[in-house]
C-alpha cells in the first residue's frame, strides 16, 4: 500500500497471473471467477482486469479455512 499526498491509502492491484499463482490455477480461471462474481475486479483504462490484494487475500484465507475444515480427521 502507498499513501498519497492527500493521505488516501492506495491498495496494491494484482494481475490475473499474480492471482493465479497464489491460487495455483490458470489465469483464465481467475478471469472466470471475476466474470461469475466470485472475486471482485476492476478494469484499467486499457480494459485489463486487476484485483485488490486485500480481497484476494480474504478469498484465499476463506478457501484455505474451508479446505482445512473439509479435510478433518474421520
The CATH number of residue 23's host domain is 1.10.1660.10
Instruction: Judge whether 39 and 59 are in contact, CB under 8 Å.
Output: yes
Its pTM stands at 0.76
Say what the pLDDT of residue 3 is: 54
Say what the pLDDT of residue 72 is: 57
Residue 67 confidence (pLDDT) above 70: yes
Residue 36 confidence (pLDDT) above 60: yes
What integer is the mean pLDDT of 27-37?
97
Residue 10 confidence (pLDDT) above 90: no
Structural domains in the chain (count): 1
Q: Region of 47 please: left (phi>0), alpha (psi -120 to 50) or beta.
A: left
Residue 30 lies inside a defined structural domain of this protein = yes
Residue 67 CA to residue 48 CA, distance in Å, equals 30
Residue 74 lies inside a defined structural domain of this protein = no
Residue 1 lies inside a defined structural domain of this protein = no
Residue 45 lies inside a defined structural domain of this protein = yes
Say what the pLDDT of residue 50 is: 98
Provide the domain limits for residue 27: 13-68
Amino acid at each position: 500500500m502507498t499513501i498519497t499526498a492527500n493521505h488516501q491509502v492506495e491498495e496494491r492491484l494484482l494481475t490475473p497471473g499474480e492471482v493465479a499463482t497464489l491460487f495455483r490455477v490458470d489465469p483464465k480461471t481467475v478471469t472466470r471467477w471475476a466474470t461469475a462474481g466470485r472475486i471482485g475486479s476492476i478494469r484499467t483504462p486499457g480494459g485489463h482486469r486487476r484485483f485488490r490484494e486485500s480481497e484476494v487475500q480474504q478469498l484465499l484465507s476463506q478457501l484455505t479455512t474451508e479446505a482445512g475444515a473439509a479435510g478433518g480427521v474421520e
